[in-house]
Structures are given as structure tokens and as C-alpha cells.
């Protein structure tokens, strides 16, 4: 393809081909500090193509294609090409990853132990992991936690953190513009701006950790901690996993081990400061 | 890389991977993925020295294929249980048949839906048994349903409400409207029983069924995988006493001699398959177009040669239906799409 980019994120190599220059230029900026895929061979291919030949030039729109594709996916505006590339990489992982059980979750590590934060969109898991990553934790990922079915360890997948709407200001003030990607305004998910993980997170992107605590946060309620039954956790994590079914028995084994060995809490929080306080408290008690 | 040649080239002789650089490897893996042959490639490259990052991709494909194999066999077993009271043989077709019979074509093969063949006169009972066992119609559309029933070689697809898996129930080999009519009754009569109580086609019919599926029932998309199946079947069975003679007789009976001949030539060209030169001789015209279409994919896994692809697409409809009927069908489909939009 005309414009090409490749990168290694955690244990996974990607290549992205694009019909236009802009998305690849944005990727190069955002991933400047990331390594290249091992031996130049990639796990997954993503292609950003015009929906039809005409759409390369007129009312340009980007169709997300690659090794794995979602039939009927809506093409995106070219100015959101970076987001299209990110979604394309997520899609390859979600549909094609077979070495790890994927949980739609963010994760951070301290002292070799991993905190996994899962929950629906808008629960604040990206923002929480980004904040913790600036407060002495090692950021491991804000999109997928990778659980190795053989060892039970959680592996990092430290992609640039996708911050949305209000979270953008909070983090940009804290880390400075040098670690922020371009503002993608009015995407289907609102305003999005990426935060480049810290140097420490990138240097240790191949270092896994032992899952030590799983949290299901919920934003917008008075601070509260609730326990959850093992069966409920199991079912909710199957829903949070993109490849639980595809992994067959290995997926069942990995998830069973996780929910029986790792403590789980649901937390409500009214603002980020109280969320951090709850995390510190539960980590001290349980992890 | 402008076409998909590298994939059959490596499948034919895996030691050739020693000549690949990083670019070649990435192209090979992307093309294999797009042609749904990554698992087969991974199996072919077991024991070959490959770079660690390629090995990781191939190992992932092996894991995937193994899970797929277990699920396919389980679906076959579910169908067997559903049909047990009917006393009607369940003949497995395509991928599930290959893995159930332990054939090389099943190694690493990606398996989609469960395809089975049943005698046409038992179709009502079969349908009732499936609905009773939890399968449901996928297409509740009245036109599609009646279209399947009057013109197709299979029931409208059914999906299982708990397992979310599809079953295609074939009652003959090609659409009822197609110009060639292979003899389904003869195939059913010659079917062989497997250890698990299910049936598969005889070795010769299995190859002919693959040929029919490739040339008379589609626009050659997925054709490389189809031809790879044939290569594997021929290498499993080709050395059996009398195989080629029976194959010739069988293909004549099903009206498939010219198609078989072309398939053998394409297999030989792409995978260096040992074939009977006499059988492979007939009707050589046009092979170059078929090869062009089969290899129409670049090193990024993208579809290439759009006009040739379109030509084959139109051709595939032309041979499946008489022109007037085709026009009527496309008109109805178009109007329904308009109504939806």
C-alpha cells in the first residue's frame, strides 16, 4: 500500500497500510518511542482504504479493513484516520488474538502485582489507569488486559491511552502537550485525544505481572465498595472478553483460575480523587 | 507482492520458506489469513525452522484450528443425535468430513458451518428433527425461503439457538437450476460409514464434490483453499489401487469430467499435485483466467484484479441459473433492498 507503518505493542506486532499520508504521519508521531516488530514480521495487518475509488479524493472516507473485518462497519471521516487505525488494531486483537484471553479492561502494575480495572464504556477505566500511571504505578494498557492461559500472568498491551471529553483536559494539564496526540474532535465517541504512556511503561512492555485485584468501577455515585459473587464475576468477565468463546477450553481454564484466585470488588465513585483513594485502600487490604 | 503466488508456492514445498525475508513472511501470513489457509499453512510448517515472530502467528493459527476441530466434531455429533430416531444416514461434507475421517485435508483447516447431505425424500423429517433439537431459521424472509426451497440444493441455513452455530442441509450437490446435475443418489448410496456412526462420501465422490463446489457453485472466492483440499485428498487417496479409474467413471456419471480435468491441472500447477495426465487433459482453454482469478490478492491481503473478479462473479451466476430466471431473481432482490433503504 502507498503509506505504511509498523509497530510493536507489548507482545504483538502490527502493520498499518493506508491510502492516505495523514493517518500514517499521525501514527508515526504517536508511536515514535515504540519498538519495531521482532524480525520485521507482524502478527496483524490493518488497511485503511477508500470505501470506493472515488472516496480516495472526494468526501474522503476511511474503511477499516485487515486480516479480520467487521461486515457492515461504518467508514470514518479521513480527519479521524488515526482513530480508524487504532480501531483497526483493536479489531485485529479482539477477533484474531489466540495466545491470550483478552479482557476489555485497563491494567496497572506495582511490585509485580497487577490491578485489572474492567467495566462498561464510561466507567472511567481509561482515565483511572492513566492517572495511576502518573502516580507510581506502571501503566500496562487501557484497552485490553492479556491473560496468558498457560501461566495466568497478565501481559501489558500499552497502547496510547484513548482519553475522551473531560478526561482530556485533566490529563493534558498534568503531563504536558509533549505526551499528547492530536485532538480528534467530534468523533462518533465524542472528542478523543491520545496520551503516550510514560517511558517506564514502554520500556517494560514485555514484562508481565501476577493479577492481584480486579475492580468493576462505576462513575457518578457516592463512594461505595461491594463484594461480588464468583459466578457473577465469571459471567461479567465472559462478557468483557472478546475471545473467550474462540479460545474454547483454554479460555474457560484461564477465566476460572482468574476468578477463583483474584479478589474482586465493585466500586462506585463520585470523582477521580475518591476513586484513587478507594484503589489505594483496597490494594492495601487485598492485593 | 502483486499476487498470491507465494502461498501455493510455500504450501507445495515448505522448505522454500528458507528463502523468505521479513517482507515475504508478512505477505505470506496475510495472504494465508485472507484465503483462510493460515491453519493449513501452520500445519504444513510444523518442524520447519521459521523465525520466532512467524512461529508465534503460526502457533496461534494451530490453536485456533484445534478449537475449531473440536467444535466441528461436536456439531457433527449433535446432528447425529438429532437424526438418530429417523434412521437416516447423516453424510458429512467438506471440512467436518475431513476432520471426522482423519484426512490430511482436515489438518489445520478452518471449518465454518456444518454441511451435511441427506436423501431428498427424507428432507421434511430432517427439517422437523432439527427444529425439534433447537435449530432455528436464519432468514425469516418469505422470498428467500421459497427461493431456497424451489431453486437451491440446500435448505435455508439454520442456526442453533444455544450454540449459535449454523448447519447447511444439502439434499443434492448443485443448485437445482445449475446446468450440470451430479447424481446425489449415487453419492449417498456409495457413502462410507465412519467410526463415530456418521458418514462421509467415498474418496472419489469427495473429490468430485469439491470440484463441483469450486467451479459450479461460486465465483472462485476461497478457491485456493478448495484446491488445497483437493491436493490433500489426492495425496491421501491417489495411490490407492484403481483410484484414477474409479475417479474417471465417477466424474463421467456426475457430468463433471471437464471440471475435474481443470481442477487437476490447476492443482498440479499450484501445488505440484501428482495427477493422472490422461484425466487432466480435457478442455485446457481458459486456465490462465482461472489462475489469474485464484491468485488475485496482493501482499497486503487485498483483493486485486477487480475486473477479473467481477467477470467471474457474473459468470458464476450465469451458470447457476437460466438468464430469464436470473433477471427475475436480481430484480426481486434489488426491489427488496430499495424497500429496506
pLDDT digits (tens, 9 = 90+) for A195-240: 999 999 999 999 999 999 999 999 989 999 999 999 999 999 999 9
Tell me: the pLDDT tens digits for A236-277? 999 999 999 999 999 999 999 999 999 999 999 999 899 999
Would you state the pLDDT for residue A229?
A: 95
In percent, the amount of chain B with pLDDT more than 90 equals 72
Per-residue confidence (pLDDT) for residue A4, from 0 to 100: 97
Could you tell me the strand order of the sheet in which A44-50 lies? A3-9, A12-18, A44-50, A61-66, A76-77
- Report the alpha-carbon distance of residue B286 to residue B203 in Å, rounded: 28
Answer whether A99 sits within 8 Å of B71, measured CB to CB: no
Tell me if B167 sits within 8 A of B75, measured CB to CB.
yes
- For residue A283, the tally of other CB atoms under 10 A from its CB is 18
Tens digit of pLDDT for each residue in B89-102? 899 999 999 999 99
Is ipTM > 0.90 here? yes
State the Cα angle at A205 between A155 and A178, rounded to 5°: 135
Whether B53 sits inside 8 A of A248 (CB atoms) is: no
Would the CB atoms of A246 and B67 count as touching at under 8 Å? yes
Strand A264-269 relative to strand A224-227, pairing:
antiparallel
Residue B105 has pLDDT above 80, yes or no: yes
Q: Left, alpha or beta for B248 (phi > 0: left; psi -120 to 50: alpha)?
A: alpha
Residue A69: Cβ-neighbour burial (10 angstroms; 0-12, 13-18, 19+): middle
Kindly report the nearest CA distance between residue B167 and chain A, in angstroms: 19
Task: Please check the confidence at residue B341 and state whether its pLDDT lies above 60.
Answer: no
Neighbours of B96 (CB within 10 A): 26
CB A42 to CB B61 under 8 A?
Answer: no
Q: State the pTM of this model.
A: 0.93
From the list A67, A97, A99, which residue is nearest B30 (CB)? A67
Phi, psi of A221 (to 5 degrees): -130, 165
A41, A48, A99: best mutation site toward chain B, by most B Cβ within 10 Å?
A41
More confident residue, A56 or A158: A158
**Which residue in A has a C-alpha nearest to residue B61's C-alpha?**
A98
Among all residues of chain B, which has the CA nearest to that of A245?
B67
Contacts of B52 in chain A (CB under 8 A): 38-39
Q: Provide the pLDDT for residue B283.
A: 74
Q: How far is A20 from chain B (nearest CA, A)?
A: 15
pLDDT of residue A71: 84
B285-322 tens-digit pLDDT: 889 999 999 999 999 999 998 888 888 888 887 777 77
Q: For residues A48 and A78, is the Cβ–Cβ distance under 8 A?
A: no
Report the pLDDT value the prediction gives residue B174, as an integer from 0 to 100: 87
* A-to-B residue pairs, Cβ atoms closer than 8 angstroms: 70
Residue B282's pLDDT is 80
Closest CB from B22, B63, B300 relative to A40: B22
CB contact under 8 A, A39 and B22: yes
CA closest to A6 among chain B residues: B26
| Residue the block writes with cell 457492515 | A72
* CB-based contact A30:A82 (threshold 8 Å): yes
Summarised one tens digit per residue, pLDDT across range B107-133 is 999 998 999 999 999 999 999 999 999
Task: Return the residue of A nearest to B60 by Cα.
Answer: A98
Amino acid at each position: 500500500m502507498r503509506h505504511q507503518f509498523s509497530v510493536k505493542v507489548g507482545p504483538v506486532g502490527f502493520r498499518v497500510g493506508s491510502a492516505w499520508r495523514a493517518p500514517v504521519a499521525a501514527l508515526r508521531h504517536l508511536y515514535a518511542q515504540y519498538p519495531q516488530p521482532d524480525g520485521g514480521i507482524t502478527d496483524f495487518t490493518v488497511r485503511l482504504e477508500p470505501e470506493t475509488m472515488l472516496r480516495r479524493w472526494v468526501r474522503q472516507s476511511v474503511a477499516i479493513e485487515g486480516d479480520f473485518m467487521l461486515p457492515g462497519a461504518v467508514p470514518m471521516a479521513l480527519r479521524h484516520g488515526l482513530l480508524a487505525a487504532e480501531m483497526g488494531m483493536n479489531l485485529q486483537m479482539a477477533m484474531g488474538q489466540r495466545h491470550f484471553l483478552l479482557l476489555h479492561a485497563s491494567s496497572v502494575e506495582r511490585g509485580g502485582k497487577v490491578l485489572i480495572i474492567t467495566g462498561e464504556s464510561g466507567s472511567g477505566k481509561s482515565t483511572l489507569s492513566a492517572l495511576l500511571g502518573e502516580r507510581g504505578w506502571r501503566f500496562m494498557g487501557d484497552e485490553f488486559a492479556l491473560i496468558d492461559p498457560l501461566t495466568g500472568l497478565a501481559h501489558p498491551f500499552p497502547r496510547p491511552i484513548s482519553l475522551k471529553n473531560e478526561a482530556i483536559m485533566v490529563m493534558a494539564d498534568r503531563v504536558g502537550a509533549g505526551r499528547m496526540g492530536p485532538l480528534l474532535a467530534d468523533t462518533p465517541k465524542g472528542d478523543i485525544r491520545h496520551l503516550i504512556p510514560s517511558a517506564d511503561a514502554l520500556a517494560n512492555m514485555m514484562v508481565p505481572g501476577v493479577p492481584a485485584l480486579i475492580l468493576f468501577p462505576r462513575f457518578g455515585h457516592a463512594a461505595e465498595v461491594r463484594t461480588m459473587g464468583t459466578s457473577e464475576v465469571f459471567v461479567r468477565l465472559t462478557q468483557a472478553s472478546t475471545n473467550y468463546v474462540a479460545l474454547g477450553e483454554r479460555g474457560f481454564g484461564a477465566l476460572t483460575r482468574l476468578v477463583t484466585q483474584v479478589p474482586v470488588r465493585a466500586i462506585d465513585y463520585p470523582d477521580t480523587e475518591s476513586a484513587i483513594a478507594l484503589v489505594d485502600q483496597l490494594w492495601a487490604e487485598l492485593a | 507482492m502483486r499476487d498470491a503466488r507465494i502461498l501455493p508456492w510455500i504450501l507445495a514445498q515448505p522448505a522454500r520458506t528458507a528463502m523468505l525475508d521479513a517482507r515475504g513472511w508478512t505477505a505470506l501470513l496475510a495472504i494465508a489469513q485472507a484465503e483462510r489457509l493460515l491453519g493449513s499453512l501452520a500445519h504444513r510448517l510444523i518442524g520447519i525452522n521459521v523465525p520466532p515472530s512467524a512461529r508465534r502467528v503460526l502457533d496461534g493459527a494451530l490453536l485456533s484450528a484445534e478449537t475449531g476441530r473440536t467444535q466441528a466434531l461436536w456439531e457433527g455429533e449433535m446432528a447425529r443425535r438429532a437424526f438418530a430416531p429417523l434412521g437416516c444416514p447423516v453424510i458429512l461434507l467438506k471440512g467436518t468430513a475431513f476432520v471426522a475421517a482423519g484426512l490430511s485435508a482436515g489438518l489445520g483447516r478452518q471449518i465454518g458451518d456444518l454441511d451435511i447431505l441427506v436423501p431428498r425424500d427424507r428432507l421434511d423429517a430432517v427439517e422437523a428433527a432439527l427444529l425439534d433439537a433447537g435449530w432455528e431459521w436464519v432468514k425469516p424472509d418469505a422470498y428467500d425461503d421459497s427461493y431456497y426451497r424451489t431453486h437451491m440444493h440446500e435448505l435455508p441455513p439454520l442456526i442453533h439457538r444455544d450454540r449459535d452455530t449454523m448447519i447447511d442441509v444439502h439434499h443434492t450437490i448443485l443448485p437445482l437450476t445449475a446446468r450440470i446435475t451430479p447424481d446425489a443418489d449415487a453419492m449417498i448410496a456409495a457413502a462410507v460409514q465412519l467410526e463415530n456412526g456418521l458418514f462421509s462420501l467415498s474418496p472419489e465422490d469427495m473429490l468430485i464434490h469439491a470440484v463441483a463446489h469450486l467451479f459450479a457453485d461460486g465465483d472462485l472466492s476461497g478457491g485456493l483453499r478448495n484446491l488445497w483440499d483437493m491436493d490433500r485428498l489426492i495425496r491421501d487417496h491417489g495411490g490407492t489401487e484403481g483410484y484414477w479409474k474409479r475417479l474417471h467413471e465417477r466424474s463421467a456419471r456426475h457430468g463433471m469430467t471437464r471440471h475435474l480435468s481443470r481442477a487437476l491441472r490447476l492443482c498440479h500447477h499450484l501445488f505440484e499435485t501428482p495427477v493422472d495426465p490422461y484425466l487432466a487433459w480435457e478442455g485446457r482453454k481458459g486456465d490462465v483466467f482461472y489462475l489469474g482469478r485464484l491468485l488475485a490478492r496482493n501482499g497486503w491481503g487485498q483483493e486485486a484484479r477487480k475486473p477479473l473478479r467481477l467477470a467471474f462473479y457474473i459468470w458464476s451466476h450465469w451458470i447457476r441459473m437460466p438468464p430469464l430466471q436470473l433477471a427475475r431473481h436480481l430484480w426481486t432482490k434489488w426491489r427488496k433492498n430499495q424497500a429496506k433503504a
